[in-house]
Chain A
Amino acid sequence: MDSYSAPPMGGVSPSPEAMMEQVKTQLAQAYAEEFIETLRGKCFEKCITKPGSSLGGSESSCVSRCVDRYIEATGIISRSLFSKQH
């Protein structure tokens, strides 16, 4: 029984506002987790080409740059899509 089907102890249902806040928070969390999972995949592929017995310094810096670049790429794509001049 989850917290959405059962009313809280006071016997009063959550207000629409509280529900919306909860949904917004959980969505934000889900988006963030999904993004991080993508980062893992992309950066492992680009930076850890031959896994060794530990992460090298160049591999670590590559990963840092990769994260920054991928975030930047997301912004470039987003702007490209939403300010089209055709």
Chain B
Amino acid sequence: MDPSLANNPELLQFLNQEKERAMVNEMVAKLTSVCWDKCITSSPGSKFSSSETSCLTHCAQRYMDMSMIIMKRFQSQ
């Protein structure tokens, strides 16, 4: 590989963007997995019930709230 590519600012910015995109993707995937297990307790239907939809919505947000608590608690140790 052409060594000057390692310093190419466009390439570096691109790699940073893709890194961030990968982190976001991972978080969404993990949360969807956890919340699916928590919220979809019966056999999947042809659409979500409103309680399943709210559960999924709330689940993601509560997980993030919990994450904040954990970080704060951990940092205060």
Contact = CB atoms under 8 A, between A and B. Distances in A.
Interface of A: 4-5, 7, 13, 16, 19-20, 23-24, 27, 31, 34-35, 38, 42-43, 46-47, 62, 65-66, 68-70, 72-74, 76-78, 80-81, 84, 86
A15 B8 CA distance: 11
Classify the secondary structure of A's interface with B.
helix
Contacts, number: 87
Interface of B: 1-2, 5, 8, 10-11, 14-15, 18, 21-22, 25, 27-29, 31-33, 35-36, 40, 43-48, 53, 56-57, 59-61, 64
A85 B2 CA distance: 47
